[in-house]
Each structure stands twice: as structure tokens, then as C-alpha cells.
Amino acid sequence: MTTPPQSGREPDTHVPAEALMTRFEAPDPDSTETGPKNGRRKNGSTGQFKEIWRRYKRNKLAVVGLALVIFLMVLAILQPWITPFDPMEQNPINSRNPPSARHWFGTDILGRDMFSGIVYGTRLAMIVGWSVMILSLVVGLALGAIAGFRGKATDSIIMRITDIVLAFPALIGAILVVQIFGNGIPQVIIALVILSWPTAARLMRGSTLSLRESEYVEAARSIGASDTRIVTRHILPNAIGPTLIYSFSHIGVAIVAMASLAFLGIGVPADIPEWGTMIAKAVPSLNVEGEAHMWMFPSLAIVITTLAFAFVADGLRDSIDPKLR
């Protein structure tokens, strides 16, 4: 299945670049002067990163997103010192309390402090989001590069595997994997990696295919460079862009996927304070006066997180590969 309209479970990967534009300003004049592919300059990689950063910070929304992501990361790392209460500690006498000076975000149905729970949930979300991103990126890059570079049987086997994985609607696929491996955060991470590497692999394969026949690769081969060297030193740095952008935009998707599973009571143990389980626990109180804090705060946490990662991903897309816009 190499035709452009790939059955799109990850719609954002094959949308016309125009449609993904969230920048509100007029198209910037600089995009035409960036020179060679991927904004590469002769003065090496430091110059390239500087160039990317220069383009990145022009997108105000992306800068806000980056600040939020850094904030969330700090929150996640410092969680044990930030939370005023033990996020697991139950206190049935104080259940469903509205926000107060003692409990900033109120307490949940089991009397646990919601603020501590949400900060703990941030830690979980960051762990799961980043692990899924890094693992699926590594697997996708490796298999995609092998498929694209080797071609022939290796290529078709790897691509047929991606076809089969992509035949499952995302949430249903994740549920199946969790059903097989059992409940737990590591299992959820495995499930999400299994479902997200195929898209990364396809993107990487596409870029590898287009670079394989390029003149500089031929030049490297002619001076006797080994296959491994050609792939890791010559193809990978130039082909990684689209895959990296996909993987980054997938962090938010992975966080939402975990919260969705947790909301349905699948995969994430119910006693762990996770945003999805917190919202699920608040469902009976949805129409009860004075208990809205139980679903509003975790919902807000998810929305802020997904928007922050989406803004950063958009900014990266614009700055890493201006041609994609």
C-alpha cells in the first residue's frame, strides 16, 4: 500500500501541508531564502540548530507551547516535592469537597486531594508520552530505514506488517493489546508503541527511498562506505525530519490515548490517580451541583497538555522543514 491516500488512522500525516497551518500571520518571506533541503547550511550542525530555533521562535503559539511543555516537565519531575498530600491517600470523611485553601482543587470521591492527583497524573502522562515517542521513533526509524534501504522482500515483509497493524482502528487496537498483556502502565506503553511505530516506519521508508538513489549516497558508496555507515551517517540525518515531526506530534496523541483507555477502565489500574481515571470517577457527579471540580480540573489538565504539545509540534513542523508548510 504505497498509494498516497494511506488508510489514514493518523490523519495529520498526509494532510496537505497548507491545512496544518496554525500560524496566524501572513506567510513569512524568509521561507524562500532557506536554501538547501532541510535548511542545511554549510557551516555544520550548530548552524542548523540555530536556524531551526530562529524559525521556531517566530511562531508565538509554538513558544507558548514550549513554555507549557517545560512547565509540565518540571511539574512531573518535581512531583514528590510539589504535592501537598499523598496522591493515593484516601480520606472518606472528606470526600467530594469543593476547592478550598487546604485542597486547592477539592477532593475526589475517595477523599483524595485532587491537586496532588493531577500533579501525579502529569508525571504519568509525561512518562507515557515521552516513552511512547522515543520507543516508536527508534523502532520506526530502524525498520523504516531497513525497509527503504534493503528493498525487495525485507521491504514487503515490513510494509505488510505495518498494513496489518494499521488495519485496527487505534483505540480498538490498543484495547486488544492491553487485553493480551494485562493491566499496567508498562503494558499501556507497549500497546501504544505497537500501534504507532508503523506510521513512523512508513515515513522513514519514504524518505529513505527518495535518498537511496541520490548522488551523495552513490558517492559515499563509491569510496567504499559500508551499508551501515551509509544508513546511519548519510541517510538518517537527512531523512529523519518528517518522522521526528510525526513522533513529536504523537506525544499528545499517546497521552490522550492513555487517558481514553483509563477512562474506559482498560489498562490503567483504577486506583492510580491518572487524568482519565479521575474523570471516570467523577461521572456519577456530573450533574450534581458543587461537584463540577471533580471532572473540570482533570479535563483542563488534559486539554492544556494536548494543546501545548500540538503547538510545539506545529512549530517544529514549520521550523525543521519549511517546505512542508
Give the residue with the Cβ less far from other proteins, 164 or 223. 164
DSSP H helical ranges for the chain:
44-56, 60-77, 79-82, 114-150, 152-166, 170-181, 185-212, 215-222, 227-229, 236-263, 275-282, 293-320
Q: Is residue 306 part of the contact set for other proteins (CB under 8 A)?
A: yes
C-alpha cell at 20: 496544518
First to last CA, the chain: 25
Nearest-approach distance from CB 129 to other proteins, in angstroms: 13
CB-count burial class (<10 Å; 0-12, 13-18, 19+) for 63: middle
Give the interface segment with other proteins, choosing from 102-110, 156-164, 196-204, 236-244 (CB under 8 A): 156-164
SS3 state at 22: coil
Can you name the residues that pair with 113 across neighbouring β-strands? Answer: 107
Q: What is the distance between the alpha carbons of residues 120 and 110, in angstroms, rounded to a whole number?
A: 16
Q: Is residue 276 part of the contact set for other proteins (CB under 8 A)?
A: yes
Q: Is residue 32 part of the contact set for other proteins (CB under 8 A)?
A: no
Q: Is residue 197 part of the contact set for other proteins (CB under 8 A)?
A: no
Q: What is the distance between the alpha carbons of residues 251 and 274, in angstroms, rounded to a whole number?
A: 16
Give the residue with the Cβ less far from other proteins, 2 or 43. 2
Q: Is residue 223 part of the contact set for other proteins (CB under 8 A)?
A: no
Q: Is residue 74 part of the contact set for other proteins (CB under 8 A)?
A: no
Half-sphere exposure of 73 (CA within 13 A, CB side): 11
Binding mask 227-266 for other proteins (x = CB under 8 A): -------------------------x---x--xx--xxxx
Q: Is residue 168 part of the contact set for other proteins (CB under 8 A)?
A: yes
Give the residue with the Cβ less far from other proteins, 244 or 282. 282
C-alpha cell at 271: 486506583
Give the residue with the Cβ less far from other proteins, 240 or 253. 253
Binding site for other proteins (CB under 8 A): 1-5, 7-9, 11, 15-22, 24-26, 160, 163-164, 167-169, 171-172, 175-177, 179-180, 252, 256, 259-260, 263-266, 276, 279, 282-283, 286-287, 292, 295, 299, 302-303, 306-307, 310
